[in-house]
Amino acid sequence: MINSIFRLIDTHAHLDEIEDLDRVIEEAKQVGLVAVIAVGQDYESNVKILEMSEEYKGFVYPALGLHPWNLGNMDASKVDLTLHLIEDNIEKAVGIGEIGLDYDKRVVAAADKERQKEAFKTVLELARRYNKPVSVHARYSWKDSFDLVKASGVIRAVFHWYTGFSSVLREIIAEGYFISATPATEYHDEHRRAVRETPIENLLLETDCPVTYGRETKYQSRPADIVRSLRAVAQLKVMSEQTIADRTTQNAVAFFSLTGKIEKA
């Protein structure tokens, strides 16, 4: 296999949920990935991600998080323990994420909106204090998520896999925040609209692996599927894949402060 001409960064991957990581990382490098941002969601996944970032040093970079999906299974002391873990390892983290709000009714039934907001505000405050970028999950909570990020004073934020209203997207862009494009850019109408409406200056690429994508043919994603995000974005924006690759990688390097860390980045 020849090495790709692209240099890409997967800015949001759940590597702790991926099996056979050695092989998966080798495949990722073959398609041109130069870095993967591994995002955590709870105490256990944050610990795993910190370990992986040591094992694959210079390729896997940790973001430590507290996902709204996990709050329902955590009591107050576990939340506290997770927040302490994040703060204790903040210097190793290139970002805080995955964090955010999810207003899907099943998620709200497990952890109500107030509880989600309280946890979100606490991690945003950590990000602000240590000047870390945040990777935000904002499903059905786009406006509230944006408002809380803005109010927190956090300067760098990416609303990952954005599918929300154009009105909120305009606020995201005006604030200098980002959205990231997943492989669902190939077919998902709301996500395609968001990618189309976002200037390349405010765009990152990601896979959110191991999420299952596809309309007719379904597949479980890996970081190497970043090329699907790339290709779909290039087609939508009628720009070359090279231009999209160069610009989104440049954005990701600046966003996660990776200058000098990645070879020739």
Site of interaction with Zn ion (CB under 5 A):
98, 208
What is the end-to-end Cα distance of the chain in Å, rounded? 23
Please give the residue whose beta carbon sits closest to Zn ion in the complex.
208
H-helix or E-strand spanning residue 104 = none
DSSP state of 200: G
**For Zn ion, the closer CB: 67 or 132:** 67
**Helix 189-197, helix 226-237: angle, nearest 10:** 60
Shortest distance, CB of residue 39 to Zn ion, whole angstroms?
6
**For Zn ion, the closer CB: 73 or 242:** 73
**For Zn ion, the closer CB: 203 or 209:** 209
DSSP state of 60: E
Shortest distance, CB of residue 184 to Zn ion, whole angstroms?
12
Contacts by 256-260 with C-beta closer than 8 Å and gap 24+? 256/9, 256/11, 256/37, 256/61, 256/94, 256/95, 256/133, 257/94, 257/133, 258/9, 258/35, 258/61, 258/94
**For Zn ion, the closer CB: 10 or 144:** 10
**Bond before 98 cis per omega within 30 degrees:** yes
Shortest distance, CB of residue 14 to Zn ion, whole angstroms?
6
Shortest distance, CB of residue 75 to Zn ion, whole angstroms?
23
Shortest distance, CB of residue 242 to Zn ion, whole angstroms?
27
Shortest distance, CB of residue 263 to Zn ion, whole angstroms?
26
DSSP state of 16: G
Nearest Cα neighbor of 37 from 21, 49, 54 is 49
**For Zn ion, the closer CB: 190 or 201:** 190
Q: Are 121 and 150 in contact (CB under 8 A)?
A: no
**For Zn ion, the closer CB: 62 or 242:** 62
**For Zn ion, the closer CB: 137 or 156:** 137
**Dihedral angle of Cα 20, 26, 28, 33, to the nearest 10 degrees:** 140
Shortest distance, CB of residue 208 to Zn ion, whole angstroms?
5
